[in-house]
A and B are shown apart, each in its own frame.
Chain A
Amino acid sequence: MLSVLTAIIVPFLTSFLAFHCAGPGCACLPVLTCFILIPNIAALAILVSGERFIRWISLVAASLELGLAMHVLTSFSIAEGGFQFVEKVPWLTNLGINYLLGVDGMSTLMVFLVACVYFAGTLISWNITLRTREYYVLFSLLVGGVAGAYVSLDLFFFFLFYEFAVLPMYLLVGIWGSGRKEYAAMKLTVMLLAGSAFMLVGFLAMYFTSNVHTFDIRILGHLSQTGFSVDFQKTWFPLLFLGFGVIAAVFPFHTWSPDGYGSAPTAASMLHAGVLKSLGGYSIIRVALPSMPDGAKFWLPLLVVLTLINILYAAFVALKQKDFKYVIAYSSVSHCGAILFGICTMQVAGINGAVIQTLSHGIVAAMTFALVGTVYGKAHTRELIKLGGLGKAMPILGGLFVAAAMANVGLPGLSGFVGEFLIFMGAFKSGFSIFQLLFPIAILAIVMTAVYYLRLVQMVFYGPVKDTHMLEGEGHDGTFIEILPIAFLLVVSLAVGLYPKPFVDLSNSAIAPLVDLIGGFK
């Protein structure tokens, strides 16, 4: 009971503290640097701390992170727009590399997402006993990496933080994973880094070709300053898209994703599916679209077809899976396809939808993976044939899973609906005729999502009880520490779903000027 109380009070107090300290009280604090440093310092502290404190350090760090994120979210001025909380320190003068951090409306949402998933992931890992210290060190480093990637405005640091996040992922999957973990870990790492190889060459090409020679993302987004020729854009946009697309698991480079998520430990799947994967769509909006709009328009038909395959193919594959976690993994691939589809509309509502869908998918995928992990921990199998009737043994988890499934399907009132609605509105209004032709097919995907999620709910939680051990005795349902993170994510999802205006406004403050700039469609 005592630990239950502390588990509520500690995060509450610390996040409140962080929220206030970062506020007007001492405005001198470099908020975004702190945002990157907290998980990394936590990793160091965990490395040297006593065995008993490991989880608590991580929890305190996650709460601080959440407090900082709330501060950024609430004090970001939509009226002002642009990039705020900017920090700039010259880093390497001979290539004009700056330590440059800053957030606009879109990355504010991502910062919030990172903090939420960090918090939930820390709690869901509470029962890890194998090499606990290393686990939490790597988990914290993973968060440190993705947090850095979302707030960096210099391509050097963006790249550094992104790849920095991939490495802990390898070890997390390799050591704490299940199934073919070593194969999955290697596949994931090599594919992601292969994608980033193209990214790096693309970044360097942009640097040397532009008139301004800079890695500053804000400047690279203005064609009038960089002067990229149309031919340059046509050549390099696909390479950048390839690099970012591998992260976003775009067809046919999605194969790392199901294997990786299928094998990863719960918290790693949550962070990877929820946060790191979203980096793909995020960086297309942040880097590729604004710097090479003509290239994007040239390649658009191909991209639309790819993302549609992504949405539909992954949905159909999810329908046929025999493993509980693989269904969720494919569902995540399908949802990321929807995000990319939204981006391809090149239209304010569509891209806004993509941003909101990124946030929503992050929260919801994290929630779903947390549920799968918890159920797996109790039922000791993920094979759908062996599962069944679990709703009787674990009513709370069952109820939460139904909620998560509905959020995935896009039930109004939950976050999934807002994003999808905006994406389809964008597709309908988009000036490219290809969207008018293809967008009914995309709508089909929503139906498919409902089909495979309902099938999942039915197979796992309803029907006859397959494993009769689950009916004997008590305590098969989630414990408080397992329910807490899931409930927390559900609350966030509800908040976005019921009152999306502030979130959409934040996103719109970044997207509307962007669409103006790239000459998209109103």
Chain B
Amino acid sequence: MINYSVFLPEICLTVTAGLILIWDLFLKKERDRMFLSWVAALGLLAALLSMHCQGNFFCAGSCPMGSMPMETFNGFLKLDSLAVYFKTVVILATLLTLLITHRHFKAQPTPYPAEFLAILLFSAAGASALSSAQEVVTLYIALETLTISSYLLASFMKKDKKSNEAGMKYLLIGAFSSALLLFGFSYLYGLCGTTTLTGMAKALSSQPVSPLGVLAVILVIAGLSFKISLAPFHMWTPDVYEGAPTPITAFLSTVSKTAGFAAFIRIFWVGLAVPSLQPVWISLFAVLAAASIVLGNLEALPQTNLKRLMAYSSIAQAGYISTAFLAGGQLGLTAVLFYLFVYTFANMGVFLSIALVSAKTGSEEISEFGGMWKRSPIIGVMLLVGLLSLAGVPPFAGFSGKWYLFAAAIHQGYTWLAMTGMVFSVVSLYYYLMVAKQALVSDSADSSPIPVNFLEKSVLLLCIAVTVVLGFWPAPVMKMAETAASSLF
């Protein structure tokens, strides 16, 4: 029997996406189509609620609506609190993406807004399914749903050369990395005779370390590292981030990355956490994490385009998160989950600000952000709070996030990695502060105000509030992250 409630969020998302595509056929006027983004938002909200009513996530064991973890398709999909956590982050981030989309399309109209929304929802459905996948083929399909939709979205601005370039680059490199990933999975299947992650763990734990296993691990890491842009597999990131429409850049930097870490956690901490292979992939990750932190931060320094800068920043952030990921354990995974939440809100706020400013000025150059304190103070404050949270400066949430990330790393003896992370956080402070300085200290020739409507203002305030409050008082989200992480152990 199929337990539909396990993939209710995905059902909500795909049904809404289908509905939008059909509804679009009956709409005549351009203006009406903007209304569809409200439908998409409703679909996302439905997905969010569907999950929380059945999972006992917020009601800690006493919820009458169902019990977790729930499984279906012979355990190929499992809704545990880890999956609920990831889905929550993914859906919230997609909601914020919708808002950015709205502003983006006002400035640069497209004839196909319905298609854009539908693909965005499909993509979110992929990310959402990925977080509950317990088996490598399901996982691969979910991942491809996410990434193939992203290729389309990245190149959505047909007339814009940069957007086309971004889509093309992303497609070629993404396809290549997917092939590597699949290749790695096939070796794993050959070694274990099963595609389920728990089965793999069982089969591998009785085997000595084999060259084939190591090769498989390398291929899987390489394939997935492309998705979360860990150095040295990060080359595509700046070009794609710069060329893609701003909402999609925001989406890639948060949803894609979150989903990528979901896949990493499932594959490595469930499937490959065996004594024979663990030291191999942990040391590989340590190298990748250090390289991302160093390269991402150093290459971000000379950037003049804010979207490009955010691309390099996101590479560095992936590095920080990986330090706790490889440390693992309850503490490490809690840190990863908490940081992803914090990172999502800070990044989304920054990208919303970018969308607002570039809708007015038509450019994402950092110099365009001058004088924001007088043109639109809330954007200025959002940039300051969001970027400094990414830098890990108190009292913002990124600080408590990094405290946990590096605590986890030091706990497992990776003091050198934590030290690298901290030192390069200071490097990152320089380029983040340069942007904040532009917005809050410098003056600009053009001092006309940047229009921000009520909804956008409230969301900016929400992002600021979340980022500040979680810095002082991380306990609520930390508890959720802890519950989620404990479902693995």
Question: Are B419 and A134 in touch, CB under 8 angstroms?
Answer: no
Q: Which residues of A contact B437 (CB under 8 A)?
A: 174, 182, 185-186
B422 & A200 in contact (Cβ 8 Å cutoff):
yes
Cα separation A209 to B39 with both chains bound (whole Å):
54
Which residues 146-202 of A have a CB within 8 angstroms of B? 156, 159-161, 163-164, 166-167, 170-171, 174-175, 182, 185-186, 189-190, 193-194, 197-198, 200-201
Q: Determine how close the nearest CB of chain A comes to the CB of B425; give it in whole angstroms.
A: 6
Which of A79-87, A91-99, A328-336, A402-410 is the contact stretch?
Answer: A91-99
Is B331 on the interface with A (CB-CB < 8 A)?
Answer: yes
Residue pair B410, A92 in contact (C-beta under 8 Å)? no
The winner among B394, B411, B482 for most chain A CB atoms within 10 A is B394
Contact: B426 with A193, CB < 8 Å? Answer: yes
Are the C-beta atoms of A205 and B426 separated by less than 8 Å? no
How far does the alpha carbon of A193 sit from the alpha carbon of B404 in the complex, in Å?
Answer: 18
Distance, CA A174 to CA B441, complexed state (A): 6
Q: Check B399 against A197 for contact (C-beta < 8 Å).
A: no
Q: Is the CB of B395 within 8 A of A160?
A: yes
B475 contacts A92, CB within 8 Å?
A: yes
The answer to the question of A35 belonging to the interface, with a C-beta cut-off of 8 Å to chain B, is: no
Task: Report whether A164 and B373 are in contact in the complex, using a CB–CB cutoff of 8 Å.
Answer: no
Q: How far is the CA of A156 from the CA of B400 in the complex (A)?
A: 9
Question: Cα distance A317–B388 when bound, in Å?
Answer: 35
Return the contact of A189 from the options B433, B475, B478 (Cβ within 8 A). B433
Contact of B419 among A156, A175, A201 (CB under 8 A): A201
Contact among B418, B471, B478 for A201, CB-based, below 8 A: B418
**Binary A-proximity of B394-429 (CB < 8 A = 1, otherwise 0):** 110001100110110011000100110011011001
Whether B406 lies near A204 (C-beta < 8 A) is: yes
Does A200 lie within 8 Å of B433, measured CB to CB? no
Of B430, B478, B482, which contacts A186 at CB under 8 A?
B430
Measured between beta carbons, the chain B residues less than 8 angstroms from A174 are 437, 440-441
Residues of A within 8 A of B422 (CB): 197-198, 200-201
Compute how far the CA of A95 lies from the CA of B402 in the bound complex, rounded to whole angstroms. 13
Is there an interface contact between B423 and A171, defined as CB atoms closer than 8 Å? no
Q: At the interface, yes or no: B366 with Cβ under 8 Å from chain A? A: no
For A190, the chain B residues whose CB sits under 8 A away are: 426, 429-430, 433
A residues within 8 A CB of B478?
Answer: 92, 94
Name A160's closest neighbour in chain B (CB-CB).
B394
Residue A299 CB within 8 A of the other chain: no
Q: Which residues of chain A come closer than 8 Å to B395, judged between CB atoms? A: 160, 164
Number of A residues near B (Cβ < 8 Å) is 33
Q: Nearest A residue to B402 by beta-carbon distance?
A: A200
- Interfacial chain A residues near B403, Cβ < 8 Å: 156, 159, 200, 204
What B residues does A92 contact at CB under 8 A?
400, 474-475, 478
Chain A residue nearest in CB terms to B426:
A194
8 Å CB contacts to A: which residues of B324-368? 330-331, 334
Give chain A nearest CB distance to B215 CB in angstroms.
35
Report yes or no: A94 in contact with B429, Cβ–Cβ below 8 A.
Answer: no
Does B99 reach chain A (CB closer than 8 Å)?
no
A200 to B425, CA, bound (A): 12
Distance in angstroms from A82 CB to nearest chain B CB is 28
Closest to B473 in A: A91
Q: Is B393 an interface residue (CB 8 A)?
A: yes
Question: A163 touching B429 by the CB < 8 A rule?
Answer: no
Q: Is the CB of A197 within 8 A of B410?
A: no
Question: Judging by beta carbons under 8 Å apart, are B441 and A182 in contact?
Answer: yes
Check B393 against A171 for contact (C-beta < 8 Å): no
Interface status of A208 (Cβ within 8 A of chain B):
yes
Complex interface bits, A216-235 against B, C-beta within 8 A gives 1, otherwise 0? 00000000000000000000
In the bound assembly, the distance between CA atoms of A95 and B400 in angstroms comes to: 11
Q: Which A437-451 residues have a C-beta within 8 angstroms of B?
A: none
Name the one of A94, A175, A193, A194 contacting B331, with C-beta atoms under 8 angstroms: A94
Distance A164 CA – B468 CA, assembled complex (angstroms): 11
Partner of B373, one of A95, A134, A156, A189: A134
B415 touches which of A159, A175, A201 (Cβ 8 Å): A201
Q: Which of A164, A170, A198, A201 is in CB contact (< 8 Å) with B394?
A: A164
- Could you tell me the distance in whole angstroms from the C-beta of A276 to the nearest C-beta in chain B? 14
461-476 of chain B: CB within 8 A of chain A: 471-475
* Max chain B Cβ within 10 angstroms of own Cβ: one of A134, A156, A167: A167
Provide the residues of chain B in CB contact with A175, threshold 8 Å: 440-441
Residues of the B chain whose Cβ atoms lie less than 8 Å from the Cβ of A94: 330-331, 334, 478, 482
Q: How far is the CA of A39 from the CA of B478 in the complex (A)?
A: 28
Does A369 sit at the interface, judged by CB under 8 A? Answer: no
| A94-B482, A201-B415 known; A167 vs B393 contact (CB < 8 Å) | yes
Contact B388–A208 (Cβ < 8 Å)? no
Q: Is A237's CB within 8 Å of the partner chain B?
A: no
A174's closest neighbor in chain B, by CB?
B441
A244 contacts partner chain B, Cβ-Cβ < 8 Å: no
A197 touches which one: B411, B426, B430 (CB < 8 A)? B426
In whole angstroms, what is the CA distance A518 to B103 when docked? 62
Contact (Cβ within 8 A) A204 B410: yes
Chain B: CB-nearest residue to A144? B395
Residue in contact with B393 in the complex, picked from A91, A95, A163, A208, CB distance below 8 Å: A163
What are 30 A-B interface contacts by the 8 Å CB criterion? A91-B475, A92-B475, A94-B330, A94-B334, A95-B331, A95-B404, A160-B395, A160-B472, A164-B394, A170-B433, A174-B441, A182-B437, A182-B441, A186-B433, A189-B429, A193-B429, A194-B426, A197-B422, A198-B422, A200-B403, A200-B422, A201-B418, A204-B403, A204-B410, A204-B418, A205-B410, A205-B415, A207-B407, A208-B407, A208-B411
Residues in A lying within 8 Å of B, measured CB to CB:
91-92, 94-95, 131, 134, 156, 159-161, 163-164, 166-167, 170-171, 174-175, 182, 185-186, 189-190, 193-194, 197-198, 200-201, 204-205, 207-208
